[in-house]
Amino acid sequence: MTHSLVFLISLITGATALIAGAIVWTVLRLRTERRRGRAETYLLRWLTSEQNELLTRAGIPLRRQVADDGEECLAFDSARLHLALKQLRSRVVVTVPQKDKTVHELVLRPAATRNRQLRRLKVHLDGRIRHGKRGTLQLIRDAFLPSVQREIVVHVVNRNPAPIHDDKFHIFVQPSSRSGSVYAPVTLWGVPVEERSWRAATAHGGVPIIDEASGCSVAELAENCLYIHANVLDSGGSEYHLALLLRILQAADEELDVNTWLAEVISTVPDCRPAAAMGSSKSVFDHGFQGRLQSVVRSLVQAVLAPAAGRDVYIKHCQGTCEKPLDDGMFHIFLHSAPVGRACVQAPERLWGHRLIKRENSFLPSGRGLPIVEQPSGFAVGELVDNNLYIYPELVEYGTKSEARLLARLLTEVRRWMSNGTPSAVAERYVDECWSQIEGFLDNASKESTAAEARKAEEALRQALRVAQASEKDLYQLEASPSEELGREFDELCSIPKVLSVQVNDKVIVVTTDTLYCVDTRTRLRHEIGAFEIHIPTSSSSSILWFNRTRHVQVADKQKMQAPHVAFNGHACLGNTKDLFPMLINKRELATAVQLAIAFIESVNVDDRWGTHISKWPIAHS
């Protein structure tokens, strides 16, 4: 009995100790996890110089630190949070934990304005917000009213209405939708995106509000209207919707006052002041720009480049066409252009750290001038041919602050080239830039890549070489053809039977023909195909096109054709003559090419799937 009692007491004591140990271990684990989740460092982005100075004066040490999305922020210790909020007169909307759980990013909203006149202005709601109506309107009032300084109307709409032109500022937001056609990234400006399916928005010709890290267009600023594409209306208690709305308003606020941020951008260029302050006597003229974009481009060129050029500047938006170098006493800038060739190279996502908003294809160096190369990628951004600057990619399109910084950076590089004008110095720098470009390509090539990427790069190189060879041939042929030879070719074209007229428009010879006919070999009936415009390119790298001026024939549901072997877009199924037209154009045997083009319409292969439709053209009566 005694032994049993001792054993029972020992068992109870052991179990008690085991339970106590488990409790202690659980408490310690919870404390450790709580410490791990507790912020030791807070991040702030987009602080103004005034806010930075306020924190510094308050004795809050600031240091630079990069957030998870790559944005550079200012960091401070968590012990200084309350002091920082007091100095900034702000409240926390939400804290976003980073990968390092001891680091959290703060999304702050400003306190209500103290300006009496602004406090009288209202924020109206047109529509219905199911959750968080008061908080949403108050956030818009606190964050945006001091900037727009007019009454704000918030429209909750399912459609995408046209801009409203009145004395108010209008914000258009969409209610939540699970069936959108736009898929958003995981985060925008560091804020997690909970509802990532948006409705596609119609562009209104305004300024896109873009998350720099992801390149996602989140909203559009069109005069006194802001169209928000993202779902920023609270779907049930989440603070991330308010945080995303605040980020969009802050990003739009950056774009509102163009004159203010233009002066800021110009002030960052070394040895540069606004043109009005310099009293520059050189004028800047432009073609193809308007509105906000025109103001941004002209201001930057006037301030950064005109003094170095020492002459009037003419800048043209060429939209992917080639322009010949000019020597007329002015300095010329051709945007999205080159002396020869065509845009065939994909522009990079970023240049000098700035994202390209519109990534159209870019041109290749022509070899006529000095290349302007972005480091460290080695990508050729443009070239300087005497007093002509060619900018290869579509560098600016909307006139945003980011585009202005990128254009200012490029113009600074050009000014650096122009400042050292001795032939030997320019030659040296040209060699340096060429070597840096080669090193950039080699550096990229040395990185590990997949087989698919290698094949894609190889195909891009082949395409670039084909374009370069074709451009070189075009140039040589043009320079080698005297005016008498060109006149003789034109006379030959006009004398071809069934040709009514010949015109040359932008590297294309447009031949207008009389009515052309074709015989159906199955029925021996003669069909009237119609009168044509035949577009023959002067470069063998482009395709010949046929356009029927008389009729388009419906051959199937939703399918029309220009001729039995010519699709509605003008391209033809050439069969065994596919390589013949490029060869004739390359040899400049244009008269033969025109004759062959007419003969192509006047013949048909009825065994072909397209040719069998000749019976659907009207029968000729004469």
Query: How far is 132 from 410, CA to CA, in rounded Å?
Result: 46
More confident of the two residues 351 and 276:
351
pLDDT band at 392 (very low <50, low <70, confident <90, very high): very high
Helix (H) or strand (E) holding 23: helix 2-37
pLDDT at 153 over 70: yes
Query: How far is 95 from 85, CA to CA, in rounded Å?
Result: 13
- Identify the weakest region by mean pLDDT among 45-49, 313-317, 506-510: 506-510
Query: How far is 71 from 46, CA to CA, in rounded Å?
Result: 10
- Identify the weakest region by mean pLDDT among 54-58, 355-359, 437-441, 525-529: 437-441
pLDDT at 275 over 80: no
More confident of the two residues 305 and 431:
305
Query: How far is 398 from 203, CA to CA, in rounded Å?
Result: 12
What's the confidence (pLDDT) of residue 58? 93
pLDDT at 434 over 70: no
pTM of the predicted protein model? 0.63
pLDDT band at 176 (very low <50, low <70, confident <90, very high): low
For the stretch 564-590, pLDDT in tens is 889 888 888 876 666 778 877 777 778
What's the confidence (pLDDT) of residue 484? 47
- Identify the weakest region by mean pLDDT among 65-69, 483-487, 613-617: 483-487
Query: For residue 64, how many other CB atoms are within 10 A of its CB?
Result: 8
pLDDT at 404 over 80: yes
pLDDT band at 280 (very low <50, low <70, confident <90, very high): low
Query: How far is 533 from 420, CA to CA, in rounded Å?
Result: 52
What's the confidence (pLDDT) of residue 279? 47
More confident of the two residues 399 and 448:
399
Query: How far is 224 from 99, CA to CA, in rounded Å?
Result: 39
Radius of gyration of the chain (CA): 34
What's the confidence (pLDDT) of residue 103? 93
Query: For residue 140, how many other CB atoms are within 10 A of its CB?
Result: 21
Q: In the 8-state DSSP scheme, what is residue 303?
A: I
Query: How far is 609 from 448, CA to CA, in rounded Å?
Result: 47
**pLDDT-above-70 percentage for the chain:** 76
Tokens of 472: 């070189």
What's the confidence (pLDDT) of residue 422? 43
Query: How far is 200 from 371, CA to CA, in rounded Å?
Result: 39
Q: How far is CA 104 from the centre of its chain?
A: 31
Nearest of 333, 324, 332, 321 to residue 360 by alpha carbon: 321
What's the confidence (pLDDT) of residue 483? 44
The residue-averaged pLDDT of 177-206 equals 73
Nearest of 459, 297, 433 to residue 365 by alpha carbon: 433
What's the confidence (pLDDT) of residue 300? 93
What's the confidence (pLDDT) of residue 76? 95
pLDDT at 273 over 90: no
The residue-averaged pLDDT of 424-453 equals 52
What's the confidence (pLDDT) of residue 201? 61
What's the confidence (pLDDT) of residue 101? 86
Q: Collapsing DSSP states into helix, strand and coil, what is residue 566?
A: strand
pLDDT at 365 over 80: yes
Count of CA atoms in the C-beta half-sphere (13 A) of 600: 25
- Identify the weakest region by mean pLDDT among 70-74, 208-212, 490-494, 517-521: 490-494
The residue-averaged pLDDT of 234-245 equals 76
| Alpha helices by DSSP H, 268-350 | 275-278, 291-300, 306-309
pLDDT at 4 over 80: no
pLDDT band at 408 (very low <50, low <70, confident <90, very high): very high
The pairing of beta strand 553-556 with beta strand 123-126: unpaired
**Paired residues of 350 in beta bridges:** 355
Query: For residue 546, how many other CB atoms are within 10 A of its CB?
Result: 23
pLDDT at 22 over 70: no
In residues, how long is the chain? 622
pLDDT at 83 over 90: yes
Nearest of 184, 203, 204 to residue 194 by alpha carbon: 184
pLDDT at 421 over 70: no
Query: How far is 471 from 345, CA to CA, in rounded Å?
Result: 14
Nearest of 261, 192, 273 to residue 230 by alpha carbon: 192
Report which residue type is found at 376. P
Query: How far is 168 from 9, CA to CA, in rounded Å?
Result: 83
For the stretch 524-558, pLDDT in tens is 888 999 999 999 887 656 788 999 999 999 888 77
Task: List, as one string, the DSSP characters of 225-274.
Answer: EEEE-S--S-SSS-SHHHHHHHHHHHHHHHHH-HHHHHHHHHHTSTT---
Integer CA distances (angstroms), 7 to 1, 12, 17, 19, 273, in order: 10, 9, 15, 18, 93
**Paired residues of 362 in beta bridges:** 345
Three-state DSSP string of 148-201: HCCCEEEEECCCCCCCCCCCCEEEEECCCCCCCCEECCCEECCEECCCCEECCC
For the stretch 458-492, pLDDT in tens is 666 555 555 555 554 444 444 444 444 555 667 77
First to last CA, the chain: 131
The residue-averaged pLDDT of 365-389 equals 84
More confident of the two residues 538 and 260:
260
What's the confidence (pLDDT) of residue 42? 94
Query: How far is 434 from 223, CA to CA, in rounded Å?
Result: 44
Round the average pLDDT of the chain to a whole number and report it: 80
The residue-averaged pLDDT of 228-233 equals 82
pLDDT band at 278 (very low <50, low <70, confident <90, very high): very low
What's the confidence (pLDDT) of residue 116? 86
Tokens of 455: 């094949």
State the sign of the Cα–Cα–Cα–Cα dihedral 583, 588, 592, 595. positive
Query: How far is 555 from 2, CA to CA, in rounded Å?
Result: 108
611: left (phi over 0), alpha (psi -120 to 50) or beta: alpha
pLDDT at 509 over 60: yes
What's the confidence (pLDDT) of residue 475? 47
What's the confidence (pLDDT) of residue 333? 95
- Give the angle 452-456-458 at the CA atoms, nearest 5°: 115
pLDDT band at 451 (very low <50, low <70, confident <90, very high): low
Integer CA distances (angstroms), 621 to 62, 165, 447, 551, 599, in order: 89, 60, 69, 17, 21
Tokens of 240: 């991330």
Q: In the 8-state DSSP scheme, what is residue 280?
A: -
**pLDDT-above-90 percentage for the chain:** 29
pLDDT band at 423 (very low <50, low <70, confident <90, very high): very low
| Alpha helices by DSSP H, 481-589 | 483-494, 580-586
Integer CA distances (angstroms), 75 to 42, 79, 83, 160, 190, in order: 6, 12, 14, 40, 15
Nearest of 356, 355, 260, 262 to residue 300 by alpha carbon: 262
Task: List, as one string, the DSSP characters of 336-379.
Answer: T--SSS---EEPPSEETTEEPSS--EEPPP-SSSEEEEETTTTE
Is the Cβ–Cβ distance between 415 and 306 less than 8 Å?
no
The residue-averaged pLDDT of 56-83 equals 92
